[in-house]
């Protein structure tokens, strides 16, 4: 049995900021795999498995991950998801276009997985169906990032839209990550604490509410934990910061860290990631230093 398995499409991303344009692999599963692999080079080590799905022309992305020592498998797909992310000087917001989509995951392709934590890295609303939620809820601690389920596409543009079957799905979710706009879309509430309480009432055990440069709020077992943002040394690219936050949080929770400890570590991880393009590739030790203000 693995400690953590992340399932999600790897993407081909075009990231446009006022300073640069770069083409990079991306997606929750990619940021998760690279981040866990970096942290695993410390005395702390977790067994990790990646399941992704992409077109044959992009299999080389997964082969590169395997070459770095990441345990990964891919499911053939008609195409590879492709995003264009456009940022202005405010990295808390972006405009997105989807230039290519892929077929969703099927439960039949995932039933061999055995892991303590299963992370569903959704990018688009159709990536995972309710059968996958039910299946892994019974066998693992199920972690979900809501972002993909709250996206709709029209003329290749990405728009925010409610998750039609959220009440059915969230009762199977143990840990849910949302940002502020996603939480408001899900619940209809604008107060951060009320959004967390509502999501918890729907069945989620741990709510991770990220607030950009205002830090994060965590809610577990009736208790709120508010964590201030750390000051980045420079701001380069916010793409994958939320994915990196969840990665750092689950890495610590899998070792038995408290919600507060895991949240502080995750905040450090996402801050370090913000300082460069691509996934977190720094060290466990550097994250601990950032937590202590160094």
DSSP class per residue in 83-141 = EEEE--S-TT--EEEEEE--PPP-GGGTTT--EEEEEE--SSTTSS-HHHHHHHHTTSE
Read off the pLDDT band of 91 (50, 70, 90). low
pLDDT of residue 294: 56
Read off the pLDDT band of 84 (50, 70, 90). confident
Which of 169, 117, 111 is CA-nearest to residue 3? 117
Cβ contact 192:217 at 8 Å: yes
Q: Once rounded to an integer, what is the mean pLDDT over residues 60-86?
A: 93
> What is the rounded distance in angstroms from the CA atom of residue 143 to the CA atom of residue 246?
9
> What is the rounded distance in angstroms from the CA atom of residue 209 to the CA atom of residue 216?
6
> Taking 70 as the threshold, does the pLDDT of residue 89 lie above it?
no
Output the CA–CA distances (angstroms, integers) from residue 29 to 75, 226, 257, in the order listed. Answer: 13, 27, 23
Q: Once rounded to an integer, what is the mean pLDDT over residues 145-159?
A: 89
Q: Does domain 2-291 have CATH number 3.40.1190.20?
A: yes
Total Cβ atoms within 10 A of residue 70: 17
Total Cβ atoms within 10 A of residue 235: 16
Q: Using one digit for the tens of pLDDT, what is the confidence trace for 3-57?
A: 999 999 999 888 777 777 778 898 999 999 999 999 998 777 899 999 999 999 9
> What is the rounded distance in angstroms from the CA atom of residue 35 to the CA atom of residue 248?
8
pTM of the entire structure? 0.92
Rg for the chain (alpha carbons), in Å? Answer: 17
Eight-class DSSP state of 229: P
Read off the pLDDT band of 280 (50, 70, 90). very high
- Average pLDDT value for the chain: 92
């Amino acid at each position: 049995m693995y400690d953590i398995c992340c399932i999600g499409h790897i993407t081909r991303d075009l990231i446009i900021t006022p300073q640069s344009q770069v083409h990079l692999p991306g997606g929750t599963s990619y940021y998760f795999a690279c981040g866990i692999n970096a942290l695993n080079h410390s005395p702390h080590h977790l067994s990790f498995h990646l399941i992704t799905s992409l077109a044959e022309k992009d299999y080389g992305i997964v082969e590169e991950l395997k070459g770095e020592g990441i345990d990964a498998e891919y499911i053939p797909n008609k195409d590879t998801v492709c995003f264009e992310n456009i940022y202005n000087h405010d990295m808390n917001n972006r405009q997105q276009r989807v230039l290519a989509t892929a077929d969703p995951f099927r439960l039949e392709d995932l039933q061999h997985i055995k892991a303590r934590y299963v992370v569903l890295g959704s990018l688009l609303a159709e990536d995972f169906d309710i059968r996958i939620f039910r299946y892994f809820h019974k066998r693992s601690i199920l972690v979900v990032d809501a972002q993909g389920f709250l996206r709709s596409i029209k003329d290749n543009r990405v728009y925010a839209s409610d998750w039609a079957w959220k009440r059915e799905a969230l009762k199977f979710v143990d840990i849910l990550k949302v940002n502020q706009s996603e939480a408001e879309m899900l619940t209809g509430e604008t107060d951060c604490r009320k959004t967390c309480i509502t999501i918890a009432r729907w069945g989620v055990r741990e709510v991770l509410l990220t607030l950009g440069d205002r830090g994060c709020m965590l809610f577990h077992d009736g208790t709120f934990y508010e964590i201030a943002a750390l000051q980045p040394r420079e701001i380069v690219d916010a793409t994958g910061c939320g994915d990196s936050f969840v990665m750092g949080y689950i890495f610590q929770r899998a070792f038995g860290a408290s919600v507060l400890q895991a949240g502080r570590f995750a905040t450090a991880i996402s801050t370090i990631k913000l300082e460069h393009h691509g996934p977190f590739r720094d060290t466990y030790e550097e994250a601990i230093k950032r937590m202590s203000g160094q």
